[in-house]
Structure 1
Amino acid sequence: MAQNVDDVAAFLLDRLGVMRTTRLQGLVYYAQAWHLADHGERMFGADIEAWRHGPMVRPLYERHRRQREVGEWPAGNPRGLGERAREVVEWVIRFYGAISGDELSRIVRVELPWQRARKGRVFARRSAKVIDPAEMAGYYRRLCSSPEVAVSVAVGSARLEGHEFGPHMLDRLRDAATGTRAADEIIGEMIALYRKP
């Protein structure tokens, strides 16, 4: 059953209290993204647009326009969410709830669904292009894959971009995917390797 996006916003504010509108929009984006990944269907029917500074649900924007912060959402009912939607939003709160709105926007902007929606647009240019829900479902579902599937997806994506990985790099990808080594450590090693003359 599709939920009302206003109920999602009201639920988030009920649990987390006053927040910047960019944070609310980011959390709503991730609620939709992970619901698509987990259940194969939208949590709410409203589209999410790839605005230059991050994701934007226009019906929410119309209600919070000209406000930097919001503390309540009278248009929604926090108890209006169904059980599956509530479980996903609770997970989003645990995983993303402490992250600022600016940081959430930065995270979304490096992820494939937002980048594909913005493809060909200069960062400073306005755009109301909708982020494809099928793209979101596939991308976030892959993030939950086993380490071998995650490495295969990364290698396949790199090949589409014209890059090839040697055996040593595949080992590093596997280390990152399994958590054997921190990604930051691997990236630092790669930067040091490429800086050598």
Structure 2
Amino acid sequence: MTAMKLEKLVYYCQGWHLARHNRALFGETIEAWRQGPVVPELYEHHRRQYTISQWPWGNGTELTATELATVRWVTNEYGSFSAVELSRMTHHELPWKAARGPLPDSANSSAPVSTEIMRSYYSRQIADTETAVALATANAALEGVEFDEEWQDRLRDVASGTISADELIAAEIARISGD
């Protein structure tokens, strides 16, 4: 993986761990660099390396089950994105933007990213199943589309993780096309 992608995945691990468990995954500061969030202590280990092929620092077996679950979830959810895509995503999110204030994206910065803002921001991204279905139904209604009870049940399946959104979309395409 690229060093830049590693930095962004570490950032997302911290954010989601703060949101779900109300405590930091690690104690090091994250800074709002031009390319997105960076942990300077981590950066020092991979400085001048484009690709990370091995990592002799740290010990993954020291992670608790909860910490490991966070890391696995983040890698599953964000691992398919490129380093550039992850960087762009962070540039649109409040924690990085708040740390940088009025600085343009192109400006250098070592401003710390607030763990409290990260916790608050990512906590707001979590919704229970019924809230997620209600929000999706309301958003669709604003677009002139009404979700009947059957569709709301299918959305509950997606929100609860029973099926993926991709599986639901594929099933609906197959239904519409008669396959």
Q: TM-score when scaled to structure 1?
A: 0.66
- Counterpart of 1:54 (choices 32, 36, 61) is 36
- Quick one: which amino acid aligns to residue 86 of structure 2? L
Residue 168 (structure 2) aligns with: none
2:32 is paired with a residue of what secondary structure?
A: strand
1:120-178 residue CA offsets vs partner (Å, 9 max, x unmatched): 11222110001100101111110113349979xxxxxxxxxxxxxxxx99935xx9xx9
Give the one of 80, 99, 102 matched to 1:117: 99
Deviations 1:10-44 (A, max 9, x none): xxxxxxxxx10010001000100000000001000
**Which whole-Å deviations, capped at 9, do the CAs of 1:90-139 have from their partners, x for residues lacking one?**
10111011111111111011011111111111222110001100101111
Q: How far off is 1:75 after superposition? A: 1.3
Q: Percent identity?
A: 39
| SS of structure 2 residue aligned to 1:131 | coil
- Residue 73 to residue 170, structure 1, CA distance change in 2 (3 Å): same
What residue ranges of structure 1 are gaps of 5+ in the alignment? 1-18, 152-167, 180-197
Residue of structure 1 equivalent to 2:142: 171
The answer to whether the Cα contact below 8 Å between 1:143 and 1:150 also exists between their aligned partners in 2 is no
Counterpart check, 1:23 vs 2:5: yes
* CA–CA distance in structure 1, aligned partners of residues 81 and 118 of structure 2: 20
CA RMSD between the two structures: 2.7
Contact 1:113–1:139, Cα closer than 8 Å, also in 2 = yes
Query: Which residue type is aligned with residue 142 of structure 2?
Result: D
Residue 79 of structure 1 deviates from its aligned partner by: 1.3
Equivalents in 1 of 2:14, 2:141: separation in Å?
32
How many residues are paired up? 145
- Residues 1:122 and 1:72: Cα distance change in structure 2 (over 3 Å): same
Q: Distance in 2 between matches of 1:116 and 1:148?
A: 30
CA distance in 2, matches of 1:110, 1:45: 24
Q: Distance in 1 between matches of 2:135 and 2:52?
A: 38
In structure 1, distance between residues paired with 2:108 and 2:133: 38
What residue in structure 1 maps to residue 72 of structure 2?
A: 90
Measure the CA separation in 1 of the matches of 2:141 and 2:30: 35
Q: 1:142, 1:150 within 8 Å by CA — same for their partners in 2?
A: no
- Which amino acid is the alignment partner of residue 97 of structure 1? G
